Amino acid sequence: MDKEERKTINQGQEDEMEIYGYNLCRWKLAIVSLGVVCTGGFLLLLLYWMPEWRVKATCIRAAIKDCEVVLLRTTDEFRMWFCAKIRFLSLETHPFLSPKSMTNKVANGHAVHFTENLATENRHEMSKYSQTQPQQIRYFTHHSVKYFWNDTLHNFDFLKGLDEGVSCTSIYEKHSAGLTKGMHAYRKLLYGVNEITVKVPSVFKLLIKEVLNPFYIFQLFSVILWSTDEYYYYALAIVIMSIVSIVSSLYSIRKQYVMLHDMVAAHSTVRVSVCRANGEIEEIFSTDLVPGDVMVIPLNGTVMPCDAVLINGTCIVNESMLTGESVPVTKTNLPNPSVDIKGMGDEFYSPEIHKRHTLFCGTTVIQTRFYTGELVKAVVVRTGFSTSKGQLVRSILYPKPTDFKLYRDAYLFLLCLVAVAGIGFIYTIINSILNKVEIRVIIIESLDIITITVPPALPAAMTAGIVYAQRRLKKIGIFCISPQRINICGQLNLVCFDKTGTLTEDGLDLWGIQRVENTRFLLPEENVCNEVLVKSQFVACMATCHSLTKIEGVLSGDPLDLKMFEAIGWILEEATEEETALHNRIMPTVVRPPKQLLPESTHAGNQEMELFELPAIYEIGIVRQFPFSSALQRMSVVARVLGDKKMDAYMKGAPEIIASLCKPETVPTDFEKVLEDYTKQGFRVIALAHRKLESKLTWHKVQNISRDVIENNMDFMGLIIMQNKLKQETPGVLEDLHKANIRTVMVTGDNMLTAVSVARDCGMILPQDKVIIAEALPPKDGKVAKINWHYADTLTQCSNSSAIDSEAIPIKLVHNSLENLQVTRYHFAMNGKSFSVILEHFQDLAPKLMLHGTVFARMAPDQKTQLIEALQNVDYFVGMCGDGANDCGALKRAHGGISLSELEASVASPFTSKTPSISCVPNLIREGRAALMTSFCVFKFMALYSIIQYFSVTLLYSILSNLGDFQFLFIDLAIILVVVFTMSLNPAWKELVAQRPPSGLISGALLFSVLSQIIICIGFQSLGFFWVKQQSWYEVWHPQSDACNTRSLYGNSSYLDNETKPDTHNIQNYENTTVFFISSFQYLIVAIAFSKGKPFRQPCYKNYFFVVSVIILYVFILLIMLHPVASIDQVLQIVCVPYQWRITMLMIVLVNALVSIMVENFFLDMVLWKVVFNRDKQGEYRFTTTQPPQASVDRWGKCCLSWALGCRKKIPKAKYMYLAQELLVDPEWPPKPQTTTEAKALVKENGSCQIITIT
């Protein structure tokens, strides 16, 4: 039972894997060794390529607990196999591990967290695990992560730092003092060196790895075979090609390794100061840091060598390396729940949740702030590859394979070619035996047919188009770190856009403010910088509630905060190091109004003294800052006016959130209406609130207080209205995408109505389209989750549901007839909370909402990623365009993520645009489509090339002949390579079109194209081959043959040579010459036929290199065919044929060209291509039942172009298309206004839901 066990590691995570245990088996090893010897090493290669076979062939199953080797398999769709050897970490040579129980606990994998007092805890555990060897820990390494055996879990688990299962309280109580030297050494032994090592493999290692690629092994086999058959020139040419390919591949791979190594190693080792448990400060190398160390952050800043949580002081950090966002971020110390006044429940620390308190590895600390001479300290939580930077480097070092239909189909196609080669192989053997050919020749010729069918230049040819596309993208300022994704971008049919900084201008302009007095809104005010308001709480909140800082004398921070602060015209001053050292409780940051505003503002005062005192003393100090959190959608500060006894709390953020945290009596009754009026006009609205804090709150208590204590019971003060202008190019780009039938979706952190307004302004939602707001509420007080449906235009109207205006409900059917079923457009809008509830409680409804969801507002970064996944789950090819700040996850997850960051080095997304404009999106899709069509063209051409050559050789084998060495050389080098590398140069078509290229090779049109050209080429080759035998002058060729009646054409010496040394391969004959000329032209004919231009690429006549190459080749072949040159004929082993037959061959070639071009460019384009491209306009808005959509044609293609399938109704393969067809006939869809959908309480597994209309 134990031996057959299967465990799972990293459960529920992206890198989840199944794990199996094995032990080495000597008798199996002996049999395999014998097999390796017998197969001449081929079995060894096979086992090298297949880790699963390697382990199963040499090992037997064992319990994971006692195994020597582990076999790992990923649980994703790729099901990839890896194997790793079990190693032992020995502890007996380390005297510092004094408590024996400690080693015992480690041996059993219990040192996963360091939250408790280890010495006492381990005494308790000792008896429990006494059966294992206390001096050794079992572990294995996979993808730079160590997995230790954990006896509690009975499984391997990676060693976690302080980032999981550690409470905020314990970080202060148990980890803030630092480690003893013994404990530090003990942890270092387990965690290893704190460095992200990117080892640059030696050239020799890379060479071996590259040469052992199955493709190069096949080439080596081909070369050996050709050499034995004396095809030395061709073998040499292939060797040279392979060497060039290997060298260029080695150069690019090594260059990538070196670049990554340099990027990681730039700041990998620095000297850092750490606090020890005895209070000493020790200076060590950053490579010696372990989780639990307390690191002192230097005043002048540093590059973080690990992930650490701040427990003392404040840091200003540049996180552009991780996020692509160059705006400095303020990091504050982690709240300490133990000194919290309310005594709230203890919270577990998480780097994601507490990222505003976490300093991430690789980010740059620009400067630090501290109080009363205390040091700025941070507790190390993760080191090495476990850090955020380490995980990023791991994702680059070990990328997930790109799953794209094109590549899967390419392997399928190669298998088909291998099958064809197998037929030729059998035919050759049988034919040779019947003709009594010697065994050596039979073996060589039958194996040769395999090397002919599978083209050796295929991989190089396939990557050429992508390389050219990457070069063109670079010219227009789009940088790509994942070239394989360019092809996938050609399939994008939905693009998600962030709003601020992507669709709209990055900066916001202050439009005005609307204050509240006596729970009523005053009239909007445009100018905030005036004497009347200078001492108001409203302006004080604008002056203090921000995260601005001075870096080298220049104010920097969030653009919105900058605009707000500039609008009031105040001055920000930060304390110098000297001042901090002098005073006990110095305010780190002080803001004050300019002097010219104050004298006038004091005229209202009764006492004359104020005239002179106020300008000098009116300053506000910022005591504590709670940074903006996108999850909480707010920020707050604790501040004190100089001289006041009580402190003030100020808060700003999303109006709905702020209003909910204020006293209800301070919020105006028309708050929602006023907010809606602004948001509908597309304004960005921010609410402000304030309250006086109790006098018992001292400076020290405020430093450790939780933000929840401050952020409640506030007084609502009013609204700041910011204007966010659309970028000039936004409407035009979105219109181009809509014309190309590419859906656009807005995903933003802003207010929903603002987002809907911007969506209407930019043309994402057309004026006549309806917007349905889905407001989902989670289960509460025993009631099930429900969704309330509102129509955006009638959101505030109190309509009677029994008499709903029929105009308010989108009419679905435009025509009663099913001939042209059309749907009027409607859009769903929802916020992040509703989106999460729908994903959790309405799994059946989520895909339907994905089909029409256009506006997703108030979305947190992780919700953006979930949205991308939800759209991909209904088979959309999703693009994501964002500014890189909080879109990292979504940019990585999308099929094509484009970051509009100016930083070229941003590794957050596959594509980075240097120009911060969404005009890069259509450019990328155009280039993607061009690259995809180029891949199809090249693949079709290479398939035809191998089949034409295969058929030529098969025909010649029937008369025991073959193509000559130089004939092969001319075809493969002069024709094929030149054509392949020039036909890939067609640039992208200048505009996006409504059609989309097929996603795979196994589609109706492409299969028909290839099969029709194969039949045409085989037909005309056969015609030439058999017709030449019918000629009156024909005879079996021998050296004395003279069909041209001119013995002087070849020199007499050559005849003598031929007589003395006969042509053993029987190359020179009339059939060979005929087949050679016809097939040479056929390669060029199919190249022209397949080199398609519009609608995805520029026409081939604009590809000058291709045109010139083809013309030169045509002229050359025509010349040697119509006007023979003796020396060329001799080299190519061509025999002389009568002029009349040369004209006949020319006629065969011309008719072949005419038929090929007609079939490919007229019949295929006019009939089949239109069927293939009859797609839904928007995926869900239009379906014609008379013609099949693309997915059905793919199926139809796989069924050998069965016309019957084209005539009957089909179910589309893409889920979103199938859903769209279903929804067309669903009378309950879209939901009607003022109705509610409830989740069924009993059936939670499948997320079923029912619609209940509330009347």
Q: What residues are labeled active site? A: 498
CA dist list (Å): 858 to 115, 523, 797, 886:
36, 28, 24, 12
**H or E element in which residue 294 lies:** strand 294-296
Choose among 748, 735, 738: nearest CA to 679. Answer: 748
> Could you tell me how far CA 37 lies from the centroid of its own chain?
44
Single out the residue of 77, 125, 75, 81 nearest to residue 99, CA to CA. 125
What dihedral do alpha carbons 289, 294, 297, 302 form, nearest 10°?
20
Residues near 357 by beta carbon (within 8 Å), at least 6 away in sequence? 309, 310, 331, 332, 333, 334, 335
Sequence-separated (6 or more) residues with CB below 8 Å from residue 1058: 1039
List of E strands, 333-394: 358-359, 364-369, 377-382
Looking at residue 67, its amino acid is C
Element (H, E) at 967: helix 965-969
What does residue 145 show for φ and ψ, rounded to 5 degrees? -120, 135
Helix 752-761 with 671-680: angle, nearest 10 deg: 30
Among 379, 192, 396, CA closest to 304: 379
Q: Which residue has the tokens 């709150």?
A: 697
Encoded tokens for 520: 């009523």
Q: Do the Cβ atoms of 601 and 535 come closer than 8 Å?
A: yes
Give the Cα separation of 252 and 258 in Å (integer).
10
Of 830, 836, 923, residue with least CA distance to 881 = 923
- Determine the Cα–Cα distance for residues 616 and 531; give it in Å rounded to an integer: 16
| Residue given tokens 């004050």 in the structure block | 592
Beta bridge partners of 22: 61, 69
Query: In 87-158, where does DSSP find H-type helix?
Result: 100-107, 118-125
- Cβ atoms of 1081 and 1152 closer than 8 Å: yes
CA proximity to 447, closest of 223, 263, 623: 223
821 has which bridge partners?
Answer: 1183
Beta bridge partners of 602: none
Q: How many C-beta atoms surround the C-beta of residue 946 within 10 A?
A: 22
Q: Are 138 and 179 in contact (CB under 8 A)?
A: no
Which residue carries 């993760």 as its tokens?
382
Residue 743 forms beta bridges with which residues?
494
* Bond prior to 1095 in cis (omega within 30° of 0): yes
Q: Helix axis angle, 42-49 relative to 26-38, nearest 10°?
A: 120
The DSSP annotation for 873-918 comes to: HTT--EEEEE-SSS-HHHHHHSSEEEE--S-TT--SSSEEESS-ST
